[in-house]
Amino acid sequence: AVLVDGGAVVHPIALREQGAGLDGQALHEAGLADGTGGFIAAPAAFASGELAALAGVRDGDLVAASSDLDTFASTLIGEVNRIQTNAGAGAVDLDGGSTATVPLFGGTDARTITVLLTGADAGRKIGAALSTDPGDNQNALNLADLRTRTQAALGKATFSGYLADLTGAVGEGAARARDTAQASEALQQQLQNQRDSFSGVNLNEELTNLLRYQRAFQASAEAMNVANQILDELMSVIR
């Protein structure tokens, strides 16, 4: 695909690699190649129109949402693992073992987060207690308390509150974009209708007007003929 002007190729479409996606596969940014083979990013290449809008969403809303999601994931990983391992000192799992080196999550952000405890006995590896005393479930309570505990890294929001706000913001942005698109379509249709009202031709109406103008012309011609006859008669009387 190319960008053309009057049939001549102005800029060929170009791609450049931009990191990796959530699946680990390479991401590519679409833009244009300049005369020397350099890359022109989409916002500079397309200042308006649908491509500019898509680039704006990609470079604005999606980047912000991705960053917020990474903040959520990294904070969740750190806090859950801190309690699970008792800050490295080790909690006690259901089999009496230490969890000092048994974190729940791996990874550092939304793209790399993984659950490390898997298998049929994964639940028994959770650090539920801080001692071997019967009935000690203090660490399990600490883990459960994460749901309602505010986090400084999340702007003093809880995990559930932060995620709800993030989901709401994305939904609000999508609704705003949808409303804008619908308004633009309505405006386009209105302008189209106005243009058609000026440029559209109704053949029946035009034929009726033509016949009316023809009759008016014939009547005017007849009146002129009568006037000429009267004038001729007056001139003959004078002579």
Question: Same domain for 93 and 4?
Answer: no
CA-nearest of 71, 31, 26, 66 to 52 is 31
* Maximal CA-CA distance, the chain: 145
Residue 103 CB partners (closer than 8 Å, separation 6+): 80, 81, 84, 85, 116
Tokens of 9: 């190729």
Per-residue pLDDT, 101: 94
Radius of gyration of the chain (CA): 39
Residue 151 has pLDDT above 80, yes or no: yes
Question: Same domain for 171 and 67?
Answer: yes
Q: How many CB atoms neighbour CB 226 within 10 A?
A: 10
Question: Same domain for 10 and 92?
Answer: no
Summarised one tens digit per residue, pLDDT across range 22-60 is 667 777 777 778 777 788 776 655 566 666 666 666 667
Q: Is the dihedral of CA 206, 209, 215, 220 positive or negative?
A: negative
Query: Percent of the chain having pLDDT more than 70?
Result: 78
Identify the bridge partners of residue 129 per DSSP, sorted by sequence position. Answer: 92
- Residue 14: pLDDT band (50, 70, 90) is confident
User: What average pLDDT does the chain have?
Assistant: 80
Per-residue pLDDT, 73: 92
4 falls within a domain: yes
17 falls within a domain: yes
Tokens of 94: 């259901």
Identify the bridge partners of residue 16 per DSSP, sorted by sequence position. Answer: 29
Question: Same domain for 179 and 69?
Answer: yes
Cβ–Cβ < 8 Å for 56, 41: no
Summarised one tens digit per residue, pLDDT across range 62-100 is 778 888 999 999 999 999 999 999 999 999 999 999 999
Question: Same domain for 94 and 189?
Answer: yes
Angle in degrees, CA 84, 107, 65, rounded to 5: 110
CA-nearest of 46, 72, 73, 75 to 58 is 46
Cβ–Cβ < 8 Å for 103, 115: no
Summarised one tens digit per residue, pLDDT across range 126-137 is 999 999 999 999
Split into its structural domains, the chain has a count of: 2
214 falls within a domain: no
Question: Same domain for 6 and 62?
Answer: no
Question: Same domain for 170 and 69?
Answer: yes
CA-nearest of 58, 61, 62 to 30 is 58
Residue 40 domain boundaries: 1-45
Tokens of 198: 């000026």
Per-residue pLDDT, 72: 92
Per-residue pLDDT, 56: 67
233 falls within a domain: no
